[in-house]
Amino acid sequence: MVTASGEQARHLLEELEQELRRERERALERGSIDSQWFSKTVRSVVAWLPETELTLIAALGGIVRSTSATRA
């Protein structure tokens, strides 16, 4: 995959994977995901993710909406 600016996204995807794994462990300890962390992470990913990845963008948006709904 390449970023929206045309650069290789491999390092960004690897960093994202590591951060998601760390947050998964923290969420298991807490019993819930940190919705502020997740929203910040989604905004960061969408900034470099190419617009052609609509399915991934929609999936991330769905996760944000579902975590917001569980807090309400």
Residue 27 is encoded by which pair of tokens? 């969420």
For the ranges 23-32, 44-53, 62-71, the lowest mean pLDDT is seen at 62-71
> How high is the pLDDT of residue 55?
82
64 pLDDT band, cuts 50/70/90, is low
Record the pTM. 0.72
In the chain, where are the structural domains located? 10-71
pLDDT tops 90 at residue 69: no
β-bridge mates for residue 49, sequence order: none
% residues pLDDT > 70 (the chain) = 90
pLDDT tops 60 at residue 71: no
**Cα angle value 6/10/52 (rounded, 5°):** 45
